A and B are shown apart, each in its own frame.
Chain A
Amino acid sequence: MPRSIHKGCDDFRQTSAGARDRWLAPRLTRRQALAGALGGSLAIWAQQAMPLARIFEAAEAQAASAPSARVLVSVFLPGGCDLLDALPPIGAYGQYADLRGGMRLEAPPALGTTGLGIHPALTEGTGGGVKGLFEAGKVGFLPGIDYANPDLSHFHSRHFWETGLISERAAPGWLGRWLDHHGARDNPLQGLTLDSTLSPVLASASAPVAALHSPSDVGLDMWSIGGLQERQMRAAWERMTDRRARGAGPQAVHTAARLAKDVGDRLAPYAEHDGVDPLAPPVPYPEEDEFGVRLSRIAGLIAQPLGVRLAAVQADGEFDTHDDQPGDLAAGLRSVSQSLAAFQSDLEARGVADRVLTLVWSEFGRRPEANESNGTDHGAGGIAWVQGTHAASGILTDYPSLTDFDRDDNLKVTVDFRKVYASLIEGWLGTDADEVIPSAGAFGRLTLVR
């Protein structure tokens, strides 16, 4: 796939909206797009009519039955994060410098004795940021991660990573499929996207999942009444809904009407009230960083008895660094480092860190050789890492060679992301990977958990 020198994601531009839609699993995406326009609120995706009034009882029951159930958090760095600048190969600095020319990092801080350096922005934040976490044995890096014959389109690659399948066809997300096998049938909060849209990673075939931006933006909001009148109004609303409505449309309306009220009632304890935020983090997060805010809500909700098992969130940074990579990548990684370091110390302060593991990933890596716009184009062999008190630490996969590229002059892939998925499913979630990842056995396993 030859690319023009210049920037601009040609595949974004050359792919019609329709083609994109097909790539991204039309049914799932359109539901998602619908919710995407909503902002705020709690959106629940359930395949079948659920015993709605009992959603939160189900959540609490699930939490009570397995108070120490492990949680996996998926953090997506959108755009294709560059491996070479994130973890510059100090041991091959000359080659790195040749490839990157004027935009190379000068004297990046070393990552212990690994022979690798780390982007200075990843040292920012509580306790030295991601570098600090690495040194504390809480981060294991996975350089060279991708899949064979990588497709350099954002849409295709993202879809593959989201579904855990190298296939164009529509499919639930890999974590959604895990919930289909092992999730509760009645607790949407088990698969929580901290956003106004459902993460495709968590799109499920049958298990209920939810997207939530903030517990403060839910429920039925009527101006200028309060107290008893508001309670009476809500009771009247309940009586206006018809549990036996017939037909798809009327059922959807009456269900949504009841659910809107119920969600507001049940999330009220977690909503900010009179300036008090019940989910307020016990540790500082970076200021004015929405990614950090989302992570802090994930930490807060994990610590509540809601049965959260899987959570998905997306970083805010600009990782598709076709130009001005030094500036954009530093800004993106700074937010990631500061927010993830705060998240880790938040989980620890809340006493839940031992049951949370975080996977940070991006849809592909970038071309080793810089382009003429002070940036890099889409490439292969990217970066991911696992983070947590139980994460295996160190450099867990082979760093790609800087002299031996693939036929498109990209880094050679050293680990298939499905090997990482299979290893997390078995090593962390404790279930058979074959249920979720087809031919999981063929990928082998990595030790990602200790």
Chain B
Amino acid sequence: MSAAGSVSAVTPVTDVGAEPVAEAARRRRARTRRRPGGTADWTEAHVRRLFWRAGFGATPVEARRWARRGRAATIDFVVDGPRGGARLRGPAPRVEGRPLDPVNEWGHDVLWWLDRMVRSTHPLREKLTLFWHDHFATADQDTPLMLSQNRLLRRHALGSFRALLGDVTRDPAMQLFLSLAGSTKDAPNENFARELMELFTLGGGYSERDVREASRALTGYVTDWSERDGVSIRYEADEHDDGVKRVLGRAGRFGVDDVLDLVCAHPRHAPFLVTKLWELFVATPPSRATVRSLAATYRGSGLQVEPVVREILDHPVLYRRLDAPDLVKSPVVYVAGALRTTGSYVSDGYPTWLLAQMGQELFRPPSVAGWDGGAAWMSSNTMRQRFTLANYVVGYGRPRVRKGAYPASLTPAEAFLRAYRAVGEPQISRRTQRALTRLAANWFDDIDRRWRDEADWRADALQMTLRHLLIAGPDSQLC
């Protein structure tokens, strides 16, 4: 289907997956600038910032370990994952006594993925899979197709964008969602071509005519449906428009891959994509110089995602104001992070509906433009739902309060400290620490002094309350 007139300007693309793993890793590691200095400019706060931005938070053990190892080693670990490949740590979830059935049981698709975020030893890959799900937002398709698209996104998460785009274009869930399947030479459908340019690769700099012409080049996919095998997508050369098209200033008998090459070679593409990647990790917009540098890295690597991510994670701006986090956690990051950093696991169905009420249901983005992030995540309503989550983490998770383990004789500072440790030593402001210590100090106000030491039952409730507020408080919504 790639026909005459295709574009010579397009950079040839190599898939990093094709390289020997060790060699690729060596090449990648070489890129992370080794900065002088040991622990002084690389502290636990740096590790926490990096682990939250690149994944779903750091446990106290991780924060201590990676603060010792230094910046370059930590960034390499975060980007490359553990030696020997990523795996899932800890127990596989069981809901109502049974393993997850993400295909057949409602909401288990959400739990299945959330569990990976909680247990993966390579969280960056899950974070980027989430990024691509938001980028190529697809919804309303059969669960097996959605899960297969998810595996596709995960496979390409850190690899070649062009390879990812090629596979997404041929992905059945995407094809059905944006009506690329069934778009034929006699009835070309512009949906996919339009989103390809507007949302997937360029963001602007193309005309309606480009969309129309590109949609002609993308024709030829037809749907087969059988009772036995369900839906399948097939390329049918007879249904492809093999005429000459003019797309983005070039003319030719373009086919599917030609159009994908053209949009990827367009000057708007690299700045568009690296800016969007930056916004995944950093709350403040990138400077023009940063965009230029990231775009150069991206183009220079043959449209590889990983070097761009590595450069962002090594960027000084990411580590600004370590005492004042300014990136709003998305609901999924908040929930996965609350479980992961407290040493808890997916153990029940509640995350599915809580995530829906917080405004981010995995596999069900609100539109092809994905989710509106940042400040838009927060409302009185979503805050209420985030607060509710902590009931479950404190009720069912590792921060569970053992009855009678907390004597009422603890000082307010001790009570606070126990709660703080039980929930994974989250980053909190002095304001929060003061508020919680004061809460602990007033907790027994209505009990006569003489009886207070015996009010251990009340001390249990204090621990639950402190843990709840630490998990759900305003500080914990930011990273």
Contact = CB atoms under 8 A, between A and B. Distances in A.
Do any beta carbons of A and B sit within 8 angstroms of each other in the complex? yes
Interface string B79-108: 000000000000000000000000000000
A253 B384 contact: no
Contact of B367 (A29, A39, A41, A219): A29
A249 B378 CA distance: 9
Given A17-B368, A26-B369, A249-B326, A229 B461 contact: yes
Contact of B369 (A21, A43, A239, A242): A21
Contacts of B477: 253, 257
A36 interface: yes
B474 A254 contact: yes
B356 A37 contact: yes
Nearest to B474: A257
Interface in B321-377: 324-328, 356-361, 366-369, 371-372, 374-377
Contacts of B439: 232-233, 235-236
A225 B461 contact: yes
A228 B445 contact: yes
B391 interface: yes
Interface centre among B367, B379, B435, B477 (most CB of A within 10 A): B379
Which one of A21, A248, A264 has the greatest number of beta carbons of chain B within 10 Å?
Answer: A248
Interface stretch (B14-22, B117-125, B302-310, B465-473): B465-473
A202 interface: no
B326 A250 contact: yes
A30 B137 CA distance: 14
Interface in B423-446: 429, 431-432, 434-436, 438-439, 442-443, 445-446
A241 interface: yes
Contacts of A254: 474
Main secondary structure of the interface of A (DSSP, over half): helix
Interface in B271-316: 283
A124 to B, nearest CB: 35
A169 interface: no
A14 B182 CA distance: 11
A220 B387 contact: yes
What is the interface of chain B mostly: helix, strand, loop, or mixed?
helix
Interface in B358-408: 358-361, 366-369, 371-372, 374-385, 387-388, 390-391, 395
A246 B369 CA distance: 28
A256 B380 contact: yes
A42 B283 contact: no
Given A16-B368, A224-B461, A225-B464, A248 B383 contact: no
29 contacts: A13-B179, A14-B179, A16-B178, A16-B368, A18-B368, A34-B371, A37-B358, A37-B361, A39-B357, A218-B384, A221-B388, A223-B395, A225-B465, A228-B445, A228-B446, A229-B461, A233-B439, A233-B469, A237-B469, A240-B435, A240-B475, A249-B327, A253-B474, A256-B379, A256-B380, A256-B382, A259-B383, A262-B380, A264-B384
What 5 A-B pairs are tightest by C-beta distance, nearest first? A16-B191, A33-B366, A252-B375, A239-B435, A259-B380
Interface of A: 13-14, 16-21, 26, 29-31, 33-44, 218-225, 228-229, 232-233, 235-237, 239-242, 245-257, 259-260, 262-264
